[in-house]
C-alpha cells in the first residue's frame, strides 16, 4: 500500500468543507392545524417560503379543508374559521403540490417536529412517498446559540423581535414562515462566527463545544477530502487518537464544531496540537490502516483494537496424548488452534463444551505408557478413557483427537448434539440455570468455530485480487495475501483495469505466512477484509487457490446461535459484522 503523510497546512475555501449554506435551498414551512396531534387533528393552512443565499425564490400558501370543525379557541387564535376553509382544497390536493414545491430542498420550521409530523402523517395516510427531507429546527438552533440574557425564551415572536424580522408572526402560516426566514438568517450570522459554514456542520452543531475546541478548527485545514486515516497529536508529537473516515477533512472538523457525546474526546481535542492524515485509496484501506496504527501507537484515547495481542486461543496440543489448553501465543508446533477469543472466559466456555462432547483428558503434564499413574474422578464418570493408567492406547485415544479437530475446523454438530442432549436432560429435571450454563458454553464454542472457519477460508489463499465499483467511477482494487491487505488502489473511469491490477501485484507487500488461524494479520483485519469482499457488487479478479467453507460448518448454526443469544440478551457474533459464510461473491472477470 502507498500513502503520503500530509503535514503542510494549506488554506481551503469553504466550498471544500461540505455543502456551503449559501448554496443550500431551504423551504421554510409553517402550518396551522385544528389541534396538537397529527393523529387526531388536521391541517387548516400551509405557508412556505423557498430561499437560497438570502434570496427568496418562491412562496407557497393555501388554506386546507380539514373535513372537520375547527375548535373555537383555534379559530380565535388563528383567525381561520369553518367558513374560510369550506371551499378550500383538501389535503389530498394540497400536499402533493407542496411536496413538489419543496422537493430537493432542506425543510426548516420553528419547532420542526410539530410541522413535519403533520406533513409526514398526511403523506402516510394518502400513501404518498415521503422524500426524506433533511430538516432544520430554528427553535432548537436558537436554544444552542442564544443565551438567556439575549432572549428569555425561544418563541417565534420573541426571536422575530430580536432579529428585527420584517414580518410579525400572527399565527397565520405564510406570515409565520416569512418571520422564520428572518430568524433563520439571523441565526446563520451567529453561527458563521462560530465556524459553521456548511450544511453538514449546521446539522451537527452544538453549543456544548467549548471555545477552545472551536478555535482549533484550523487544524483540519489542508487535510484530504477523500478516504483516509487521521492522527491527533499532542505538543510532544505523541499520538492521542487514530480514526478513519471516507472524508477526512469533514470528519476532523466535526471534532471542533459538533457535539461529541464521548466526554474523553473533548479532553483529547484540548490536548491536540496537530492533526496528520494519511490518504488511502478507498475505505477498506483506511479501515485496515486505522487498525494497524492503533496497534502500533496504542493511543490513550482509543478504546478499541489497542491490544490485538491480548487474545486467547484454545490449543489442542501435539503430543502422545493431546489435551486442550489456553494459550496466548500461536507456535509452529503442529498443534490445532481455535480462536482467537477476546476474553479468557469465552475460551474456557468453549473448552468446557468440547470436553462435554469428547473424552479428552483434562489433566496437565505429559503422559507415558511406561509410567502409568492413578486415574482421576473423570474416568469413573466415563468422561475420560484414563490413558494415564494405560486403559487407552495412543491409537485408541487418537480417535478422540481426530473428532475434536474435525469439530473445531469442520463439523461442530457432535458438540451441538452432546451439549444439547445434556441441556435437555437438565431441563426435564427443571434445572434451568445449569442448562443455561451449558447453553453459554455451546454458544462460545460455535461462535469461535464459525470465526475460525470463516477466517481460515481466506487465510489459506496465497493471493486474491478483488474489485468493486468506486463511488466516483472506476474500480476499487485490493490485493490480499493470506488474509492480509497488501495493496490497494483505484482504477480510472472508463479505462482497462488489468494494467492497474498488474501494477498493484508488482508492488504488493510480500508476506510469509506464520502458524495458526491468522498467519499474516490480526483477526480483526481479516474480518474487515471479509466484510469488504462480501459486500454486494464485489468481484473476484484473480484467485490463487480456492475459497470454500465446510459443508456442515459452524456458520450454518447462525440461526441457532442468534436464538441462544436472544435468550440471554447477548449479541450473536462478537465481531458484530453479521458475516455468514453461506454467501460468496460470484467470480467474474474484470476487463
pLDDT in tens, 73-127: 999 999 999 999 999 999 999 999 999 999 999 999 999 999 999 999 999 999 9
Does 235 score more than 50 pLDDT?
yes
pLDDT of 566 strictly over 70: no
Asked whether residue 302 is assigned to any structural domain, the reply reads: no
pLDDT at 374: 67
Residues 184 and 36 both lie in one domain = yes
Same domain, 252 and 346: no
Query: Which has the higher per-residue pLDDT, 297 or 387?
Result: 297
Query: Residue 267 is part of a domain; what is its CATH number?
Result: 3.40.1440.10
pLDDT band at 15 (very low <50, low <70, confident <90, very high): very low
| Same-domain check for residues 89 and 125 | yes
Question: At 184, phi and psi to the nearest 5?
Answer: -60, -45
Q: Average of pLDDT values for 334-355?
A: 92
Q: Are residues 371 and 285 in the same domain?
A: no
Residue 421 has pLDDT above 80, yes or no: yes
Asked if residue 513 and residue 393 are part of one domain, the reply reads no
3-class SS of residue 341: strand
Tell me the average pLDDT of the chain: 86
Query: What confidence score (pLDDT) does residue 572 get?
Result: 46
- Assigned domain for 591 exists: no
Q: What is the per-residue pLDDT across 450-498, written as a single tens digit (0 to 9) for each?
A: 999 999 999 999 999 999 999 888 999 999 999 999 999 999 988 889 9
> Is 322 inside a domain boundary?
yes
Find the range with the poorest average confidence among 152-156, 201-205, 264-268, 332-336. Answer: 201-205
Nearest to 482 by CA among 466, 458, 498, 506: 458
- Which of 399, 422, 454 delimits the end of a domain? 454
**Same domain as 246, residue 114:** no
Mean pLDDT of 285-301: 94
Closest-CA residue to 31 (of 116, 153, 155): 116
Same domain, 181 and 232: no
Residue 371 has a pLDDT of 67
Q: Identify which has the larger pLDDT, 406 or 558.
A: 406
Mean pLDDT of the region 239-253: 91
pLDDT of res. 372: 66
pLDDT of 14 > 50? The answer is no
Kindly state the cell numbers that stand for 212.
477552545
- For residues 296 and 260, is the Cβ–Cβ distance under 8 A? no
Based on the domain organization, do 465 and 369 belong to the same domain?
no
| Structure confidence at residue 375 (pLDDT) | 67
| Angle at 191 (CA atoms; ends 185, 196), nearest 5 degrees | 115
More confident residue, 7 or 547: 547
Q: Are residues 415 and 471 in the same domain?
A: no
User: What integer pLDDT is reported at residue 418 of this predicted model?
Assistant: 92
Maximum Cα interatomic distance, the chain, rounded to a whole number of Å: 108
Query: Are 254 and 338 in the same domain?
Result: no
Q: Is pLDDT larger for residue 355 or for residue 148?
A: 355
* Calpha distance 573→562 (Å, rounded): 8
- Please indicate, yes or no, whether residues 98 and 159 belong to a single structural domain of this protein: yes
Among 211-225, 270-284, 535-549, whose mean pLDDT is lowest?
211-225
Task: Among 162, 192, 222, give the residue marking a domain's end.
Answer: 192
The sheet carrying 5-6 orders its strands as 5-6, 274-279, 228-233, 239-245
What is the domain range of residue 476?
457-568
- Reference 122, options 88, 96, 86, 84; nearest CA is 96
574: how many CB neighbours lie within 10 A of its CB? 16
Q: Which of 264, 274, 287 is nearest to 238 (CA)?
A: 274
For residue 393, pLDDT over 90 is answered with: no
In a domain, 61, yes or no: yes
Please identify, among 393, 419, 454, the residue that sits at the C-terminal boundary of a domain.
454
Instruction: Evaluate the CA torsion angle 100, 105, 108, 113 in order and state its sign.
Output: positive
Q: Which three cell numbers stand for residue 215?
A: 478555535
Whole-number pLDDT of residue 7: 35
Confidence grade of residue 575 (pLDDT, cut at 50, 70, 90): very low
Residue 423 inside a domain? The answer is yes
Please check whether residue 533 lies inside any domain of the structure: yes
d(CA 542, CA 54): 55
Residue 465 domain-assigned (yes or no): yes
Q: Could you tell me if residue 27 is inside a domain?
A: yes
Q: Percent of the chain beyond pLDDT 70?
A: 87
Q: What domain count does the chain have?
A: 4
- Give the model's confidence band at 11: pLDDT under 50 very low, under 70 low, under 90 confident, else very high: very low
Are 46 and 182 in the same domain?
yes
Amino acid at each position: 500500500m502507498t500513502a503520503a503523510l500530509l503535514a503542510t497546512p494549506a488554506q481551503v475555501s469553504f466550498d471544500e468543507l461540505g455543502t456551503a449554506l449559501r448554496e443550500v435551498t431551504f423551504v421554510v414551512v409553517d402550518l396551522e392545524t385544528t389541534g396538537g396531534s397529527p393523529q387526531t387533528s388536521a391541517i387548516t393552512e400551509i405557508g412556505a417560503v423557498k430561499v437560497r443565499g438570502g434570496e427568496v425564490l418562491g412562496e407557497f400558501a393555501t388554506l386546507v379543508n380539514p373535513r372537520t370543525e375547527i375548535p373555537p379557541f383555534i379559530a380565535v387564535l388563528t383567525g381561520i374559521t369553518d367558513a374560510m376553509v369550506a371551499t378550500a382544497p383538501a389535503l389530498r390536493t394540497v400536499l402533493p403540490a407542496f411536496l413538489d414545491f419543496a422537493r430537493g430542498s432542506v425543510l426548516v420550521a420553528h419547532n420542526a417536529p410539530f410541522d413535519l409530523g403533520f406533513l409526514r402523517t398526511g403523506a402516510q395516510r394518502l400513501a404518498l412517498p415521503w422524500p426524506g427531507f433533511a430538516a432544520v429546527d430554528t427553535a432548537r438552533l436558537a436554544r444552542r446559540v442564544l443565551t438567556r440574557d439575549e432572549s428569555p425564551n425561544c418563541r417565534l415572536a420573541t426571536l422575530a423581535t430580536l432579529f428585527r424580522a420584517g414580518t410579525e408572526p400572527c399565527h397565520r402560516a405564510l406570515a409565520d414562515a416569512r418571520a422564520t426566514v428572518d430568524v433563520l438568517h439571523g441565526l446563520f450570522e451567529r453561527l458563521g462566527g462560530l465556524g459553521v459554514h456548511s450544511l453538514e456542520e449546521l446539522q451537527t452543531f452544538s453549543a456544548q463545544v467549548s471555545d477552545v475546541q472551536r478555535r482549533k478548527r484550523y487544524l483540519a485545514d489542508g487535510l484530504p477530502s477523500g478516504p483516509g486515516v487521521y492522527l491527533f497529536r499532542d505538543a510532544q508529537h505523541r499520538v492521542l487518537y487514530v480514526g478513519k473516515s471516507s472524508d477526512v477533512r469533514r470528519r476532523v472538523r466535526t471534532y471542533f464544531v459538533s457535539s461529541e457525546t464521548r466526554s474523553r474526546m473533548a479532553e483529547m481535542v484540548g490536548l491536540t496540537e496537530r492533526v496528520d492524515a494519511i490518504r488511502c485509496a478507498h475505505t477498506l484501506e483506511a479501515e485496515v490502516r486505522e487498525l494497524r496504527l492503533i496497534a502500533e501507537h496504542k493511543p490513550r484515547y482509543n478504546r478499541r483494537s489497542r491490544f490485538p495481542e491480548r487474545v486467547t486461543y484454545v490449543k489442542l496440543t501435539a503430543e502422545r496424548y493431546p489435551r486442550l489448553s489456553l494459550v496466548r501465543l500461536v507456535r509452529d508446533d503442529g498443534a490445532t488452534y481455535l480462536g482467537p477469543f477476546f476474553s479468557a472466559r469465552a475460551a474456557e466456555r468453549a473448552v468446557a463444551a468440547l470436553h462435554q462432547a469428547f473424552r479428552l483428558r483434562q489433566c496437565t503434564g505429559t503422559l507415558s505408557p511406561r509410567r502409568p499413574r492413578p486415574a482421576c474422578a473423570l474416568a469413573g464418570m466415563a468422561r475420560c478413557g484414563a490413558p494415564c493408567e494405560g486403559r487407552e492406547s495412543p491409537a485408541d485415544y487418537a480417535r478422540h483427537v481426530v473428532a475434536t479437530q474435525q469439530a473445531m475446523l469442520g463439523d461442530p454438530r457432535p458438540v451441538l448434539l452432546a451439549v444439547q442432549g445434556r441441556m435437555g436432560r437438565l431441563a426435564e429435571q427443571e434445572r434451568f440455570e445449569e442448562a443455561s450454563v451449558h447453553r453459554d458454553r455451546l454458544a462460545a464454542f460455535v461462535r469461535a468455530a464459525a470465526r475460525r472457519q470463516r477466517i481460515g477460508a481466506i487465510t489459506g489463499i496465497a493471493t486474491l485480487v478483488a474489485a468493486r465499483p468506486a463511488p466516483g467511477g472506476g474500480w476499487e482494487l485490493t490485493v490480499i495475501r493470506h488474509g492480509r491487505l497488501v495493496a490497494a488502489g483505484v482504477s480510472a473511469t472508463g479505462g482497462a483495469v488489468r494494467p492497474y491490477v498488474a501494477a498493484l501485484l508488482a508492488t504488493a507487500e510480500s508476506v510469509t505466512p506464520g502458524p495458526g488461524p491468522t498467519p499474516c494479520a490480526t483477526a480483526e483485519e481479516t474480518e474487515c477484509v471479509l466484510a469488504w469482499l462480501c459486500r454486494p457488487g464485489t468481484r473476484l479478479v484473480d484467485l490463487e487457490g480456492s475459497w470454500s467453507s465446510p459443508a456442515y460448518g459452524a456458520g450454518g448454526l447462525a440461526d441457532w446461535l442468534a436464538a441462544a443469544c436472544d435468550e440471554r440478551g447477548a449479541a450473536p457474533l462478537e465481531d458484530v459484522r453479521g458475516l455468514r459464510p453461506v454467501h460468496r461473491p460470484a467470480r467474474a472477470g474484470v476487463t
